[in-house]
Structure 1
Amino acid sequence: MNRVNFSDWQEMALKKDIEQIKKKLTSQEPVLFSLCWELVLALGSIIADHLFDTENAPEWIWFTVIALAVIPAAVILGVVVGKWICSIVSVKKGKFNVKDSVDIFDNQISYWVMLSNAYTDMLLEDINGTNSEKEFLYREGCYYNNKSMQAIYAMKSNFDKIFSMDPQKVKEDSLVDMERLFNILRVMKEQQDRLDATISEISSEGIKRQRELNEKYMDDLMKFVKDLNESNEKSRIKTFKWDEN
């Protein structure tokens, strides 16, 4: 199998970003519909003003025009306000949108890990590069790896709702398979070890600072794993081990 390089992963990540933008645009369709409807009514009133004697027009015509102008906008506004109220109530009850977290895992964390992997591979292959170039590749690889750790840590309080060891539940509720989580945790840890080992002979303030940052993110990842295993033990589910052998 041919190795997927950095540009390939960037292209795939870009496609995912485009998909997210399309979803956001789709969510604005009711507003666009309302604007188009108002534009049609405005043009219609101008045309009617030229075709009919507006001063002597029956009242029912004006009531009809006003209703057609107000009702669609009122309905759309009501739907938007209703969704907003429901979201506030859900947050107060401790609920959240599982799909959003699953999308973050699938469309962001996975790609950040692979972008970090691409930088790591470039660093390993950059035998004749300068120390500054190697530092750049190291810090960029750490940046994407740390972003992945941070996003994983943000799911700490709700991981039991996002991840599942039950294949049927993963399929029916569109959750993330727990074994996928285990795998990506190992990849992030191994990747950080590879980055540190490759740059071990280079000493600079930038690398020193990056290592300090890495420790902060790794501490959060360890806290996530600790809470994950405590929860799994209570539920009698398989716990995570860094070495699966």
Structure 2
Amino acid sequence: MTSTLSKIVLITGASSGIGEATARRLAADGHHVVLGARRVDRLAALVSEIQAAGGSAEQRALDVTSLDSVRGFIEAAHTRHGRVDVLVNNAGVMPLSTVDALRIDEWNQMIDVNLRGTLHGIAAVLPLMRARGEGQIVNIASTAAYRVDRTAAVYCATKYAVRALSEGLRQENPEVRVTVVSPGYTESELADHGGDPQVQAAVRAEAARLAVPAAAVADAIGYAVAQPRNVDVNELVVRPTAQQ
């Protein structure tokens, strides 16, 4: 059982990278973490590691592109624990290419995961938080939500949208805390899948030179979650010191 001081924290995209690091950090802080992702084998291993370290965790298969899957993920946690204190909308993809490459399926994938997946999480959890009169939604954007680079136009568009969505959500729901965390180069698997091979190789090389550990971003999320109910940390940008 979780303590009265522990929060019920749901994390999407929890099988690797920032999601995994956030699960470890928040569990170490004494919260109960509910982990969602498609790679359930990785989730199971992570839950076992958290529990072995004395933390509290559970898992459920999750596809953020499916509203039914997201609703099932959130409603199951709410039924089991009676509340959802925090949702971390972390799931994301980054198959980069120039627009003229016309990798339309990958454009749609970024829209579906990065933006629509975030919207699905909000749609499923917001009524529960509003009914209770409190809660926190943490949306993971990117430094790409503040600038546009060649080869990243569509990815940047999705992250700008997440940032704009978050600000609107904050203004409309004063009882719900809304936090945008925007990482720069971070150790993750984002550049390992899809995209133009040359572009992705260049991103991986730059990440190898600059990237901060995913735990650095998890620490920022932990800071925002730890604030008292009347303190809403709205935006946190976490980038390597050397990143321009």
Q: TM-score per shorter chain, which class?
A: 0.3 to 0.5
Larger gyration radius, structure 1 or structure 2: 1
Greater strand proportion? 2
Q: Tell me the TM-score normalised to structure 2 length.
A: 0.33
